[in-house]
Structure 1
Amino acid sequence: MAAHESIPEIEYEALPDGSLAANLAAGAFAGIMEHTVMYPVDAIKTRMQIVNPTPSAMYTGIANAVAQISSTEGARSLWRGIASVALGAGPAHAIYFSTYELVKQRLGGNEGEEHHPLAVATAGACATIASDALMNPFDVVKQRMQVHGSTYESIADCARTVYRSEGVRAFYISYPTTLAMTIPFTAIQFTCYESLAKVLNPKKRYDPLTHCVSGGLAGAAAAAITTPLDVIKTLLQTRGTSTDLRIRNCSGLLDAAKIIKERGGMTGFFRGLRPRIVTTMPSTAICWTSYEMAKYYLYRDQNVD
């Protein structure tokens, strides 16, 4: 029992110096948990962000969307494409968190008791550049399967169809926009998380409650600020499913922004804001809690061995 009581004193944040493999495993576990638990709300967000949706795919809110989709397509349709996320999230988040921890360590972000916001923000930006390069094609497949009227039989069928009709470029046309969104999103999220964690958990002990609260609040703030870029990303990733030639031929971030402005005004950039926050807040809370838990126990086991 004495040995067990000494466990909370372990400086579990020193994990990146101990084992890259453990850090990868923790990140993969966190990523899968983050992207699967709130998937139905993410599907609703995608549909609400579609420019010029069909009348049968127009929703006034999350509850209305759930009721309408469930009654006309079946509740299972809210889970279409989840396999793509589950397949890509593990390795992408393994890269994400291992890059974050490595860069933060190299920039001195783990030194002393003081806060290092610049090191944290830079590490977060580097992490998202690396992970999004892997995750972007999986995200394209996911959103193609989430849209109303999707006829793809599986993620493999979707990937093959997109590749044959639009080429490899379709999987990465949104990558610059994704980076333009996720770099500030990650920088904001990581900085807010580390700042809140410093205040709520100054002794840096393993504390699931503070990890959960810090992660949720950090995710909500980052999601709200970056929603306009998420709307642009959705247009680019689903353009191949549109019957509107202007949208189908959209060439990139600026062109997509112009279309959104023309069709919906400035409010068009905030479509899906509420479900994005509703998705992101618990997702990031789950992600950080899962990551810190996995990191803590993996590091503890290494020390016990």
Structure 2
Amino acid sequence: MCVDDCEYEALPNSPIHVNMMAGALAGITEHAVCFPLDSVKTRMQMLATQPQTIYTSVRGTIARVTTSEGATALWRGVNSMIMGAGPAHALSFAMYEHFKSVFGADLPGNRVLETAAAGACATIAHDGLMTPFDVVKQRMQLPCGSRFSNTLACAKYIFRTEGLRAFYVSYPTTLTMNIPYHMIHFSAYESFKRTLNPAGGYDPMSHCLAGGMAGGIAAAFTTPLDVVKTVLQTRGVSQDADVRKVEGFRDAARLVWKNGGGMKAFVRGLGPRVMTHVPATAISWTTYEFLKMAIVGNTESPLHAH
């Protein structure tokens, strides 16, 4: 059977293993391609008191890191992200497609609330798997990350010095950020996709544009929470005693406000965060939609048989 003949509108009901495989590959591709910008964002968001450890712009951060630590420093921690992104995105997309069906988001019309609810369910599952890998990734992205020879060495150090709790101290904040992020992201994507491609057929350009716009909007709205999350995940290696004493969301938010000069501190890293998420989500959705079409289109599923 030819891929072009498959009923693309039926693909959201494709088998769970297809959704998981497509989601895993989409997640790995997304994070690997955009990882250097994510490293820049982490540097800009960390709380620091010494001038040499404060990063204020995308261009300046890239120049300082590549000059003092080498270009490969922008890729430190990518292994942790790849190891976590595969299974986490596989679970996320499987949950999203399942709950889209449960909540009726696949029915005709603009189902914003139903899609948002499905996105929230997907986020809870995704972050439960991804948060420990994200903690290791962010530690390795910092200047002190050069002390670790690899991802495992960093994870062992965190466990030995801070205990198991360190891997999940940011989980409540991560959920607080990512639930609204993915509710906005998934709802915006489905809305943009319907607007750009009313016919509903396979159209890579509309998937790419819709994914990029949805990711950029969601990233912009949730940047303040991402700043707080970064503080929590990097507190163990901070040279600031106040940062090391942070215990949770409220402590971290209060310290960001105090040390960063008020509200402006909560938008640190906005530029690179949006610059990361626009191409990342465009790549992710384009890859995901293509793989679903390609995999399902080459199976013997009765749904697509002539």
Whether TM exceeds 0.5 here: the answer is yes
Q: Over residues 189-208 of structure 1, what are the superposed CA-to-partner deviations in whole Å (9 max), with x where a residue is unaligned?
A: 11110000011111111111
Give the Cα separation in 1 of the matches to 2:167 and 2:273: 22
Aligned to 1:90: 86
- Picking from 133, 136, 147, the partner of 1:138 is 133
Q: What residue is the counterpart of 2:279 in the other structure?
A: 282
Tell me the distance in 1 between the aligned counterparts of 2:179 and 2:5. 33
Q: How does 1:1-305 map to 2 (within 5 A)?
A: 4=2, 7-8=3-4, 10-52=6-48, 54-111=50-107, 113-150=108-145, 151-264=147-260, 265-303=262-300
Using the TM superposition, name which of 9-18 and 141-150 deviates more.
9-18
RMSD: 1.4
User: Would you say the 8 A contact 2:30–2:284 is kept in 1?
Assistant: yes
The CA distance in 2 between the partners of 1:110 and 1:8, in whole Å, is 22
Alignment CA distance shift 1:16-1:207 (3 Å)? closer
The alignment's TM-score, normalised by the length of structure 2, stands at 0.95
Q: Decide whether the 8 Å contact of 1:46 with 1:143 is kept in 2.
A: yes
How many Å separate the matches in 1 of 2:298 and 2:49? 52
Check conservation: 1:9, 1:205, Cα contact below 8 A: no
Q: Deviations over 1:199-249 (max 9, x none)?
A: 111111111100000000000000000000000000000000112221111
1: CA distance, partners of 2:53 / 2:36? 15
Q: 1:59-101 CA distances to partner (integer Å, 9 max, x unpaired)?
A: 3321121111111110000000000001010000000000000
Measured in 1, the distance between the counterparts of 2:220 and 2:298 equals 38
Q: 1:8 to 1:202 in 2, by over 3 A?
A: farther
User: Does the aligned pair in 2 maintain the 1:50–1:234 contact within 8 Å?
Assistant: yes
Gaps in structure 2 of 5+ consecutive residues: none
**For each residue in 1:150-189, what CA deviation from the matched residue of structure 2 results, as whole angstroms up to 9, or x when unmatched?**
2111110010010011111100000000000000000001
Give 1:52 shift.
Answer: 1.5
Cα offset for 1:118?
1.2
C-alpha contact (below 8 Å) 2:39/2:141 kept by paired residues: yes
Identity among equivalent positions (%) equals: 49
CA-CA distance at 1:19 after TM superposition: 1.1
Paired letter, 2:287: S
Specify whether residues 239 and 162 from structure 1 end up closer, same or farther in structure 2 by C-alpha distance, changes over 3 A only: same
Q: Counterpart of 1:300 in structure 2: which amino acid?
A: G
Unaligned runs of 5+ in 1: none
Once the two structures are TM-superposed, the CA of residue 8 in structure 1 deviates from its matched residue by 4.2
Contact 1:31 1:93 in 2 (8 A): yes
CA distance in 1, matches of 2:283, 2:297: 21
Q: Report the AA paired with residue 254 of structure 1.
A: R
Bigger drift between 221-230 and 295-304 goes to 295-304
Call closer, same or farther: CA 1:109–1:11 in 2, change over 3 Å: farther
Q: Find runs of 4+ consecutive structure 1 residues off by over 6 angstroms.
A: none
Aligned residues: 300
Deviations 1:91-131 (A, max 9, x none): 000000000000001111112x3121111000000001001
